Chains A and B, each alone.
Chain A
Amino acid sequence: EPEVTQTPSHQVTQMGQEVILRCVPISNHLYFYWYRQILGQKVEFLVSFYNNEISEKSEIFDDQFSVERPDGSNFTLKIRSTKLEDSAMYFCASNPTGVPYGYTFGSGTRLTVV
Chain B
Amino acid sequence: GDSVTQMEGPVTLSEEAFLTINCTYTATGYPSLFWYVQYPGEGLQLLLKATKADDKGSNKGFEATYRKETTSFHLEKGSVQVSDSAVYFCALSDQMDTGRRALTFGSGTRLQVQP
Residue of chain A at shortest CB distance from B91: A43
Contacts of A37 in B (CB 8 A): 108
| A18 touches B (CB below 8 Å) | no
Interface string of A93-107 (1 = CB under 8 A from B): 100001111011111
CA distance A48 to B49 in the complex (A): 21
| Nearest CB in chain A to that of B36: its residue | A105
Interface residues of B in 23-53 (CB under 8 A from A): 32, 34, 36, 41-46, 49, 51
Using known A-B contacts A33-B102, A100-B101, determine if residue A43 contacts B46 with beta carbons closer than 8 Å.
Answer: no
Chain B: residues with Cβ within 8 Å of the partner, total of 26
Report A-chain residues with C-beta under 8 Å of the C-beta of B98: 56
Interface members, chain A 38-88 (any B CB < 8 Å):
40-45, 48, 55-56, 58
B113 is an interface residue with CB less than 8 A from chain A = no
Which residues of A line the B interface, CB within 8 A? 3-4, 31, 33, 35, 37, 40-45, 48, 55-56, 58, 91, 93, 98-101, 103-108
Q: How far is the CA of A15 from the CA of B92 in the complex (A)?
A: 34
For residue A45, which residues in chain B have a CB less than 8 angstroms away from its CB?
102-104
Tell me whether B44 and A91 are in contact (CB under 8 A): yes
- Docked pose: A105 CA to B41 CA in angstroms: 12
Do B100 and A48 touch (CB < 8 A)?
A: yes
B103 in complex: contacting residue of A41, A103, A106, A108, CB < 8 Å: A103
Interface residues of B in 86-108 (CB under 8 A from A): 89, 91, 93, 95, 98, 100-108
B43 touches A101 (CB 8 A): no
Evaluate contact between B93 and A91: CB separation under 8 angstroms. no
With A48-B100, A107-B43, A108-B43 as given contacts, are A101 and B105 in contact (CB-CB < 8 Å)? Answer: no
Check A91–B107 contact: CB distance below 8 A. no
CA distance A113 to B32 in the complex (A): 35
Q: Say yes or no for B21: interface residue by CB 8 A criterion.
A: no
A3–B93 CA distance with the chains assembled, in angstroms: 22
Q: Which residues of B contact A98 (CB under 8 A)?
A: 101
Closest to B95 in A: A100
Residues of B within 8 A of A43 (CB): 44, 89, 91, 103, 105-108
A42-B107, A101-B49 known; A107-B42 Cβ under 8 A: yes
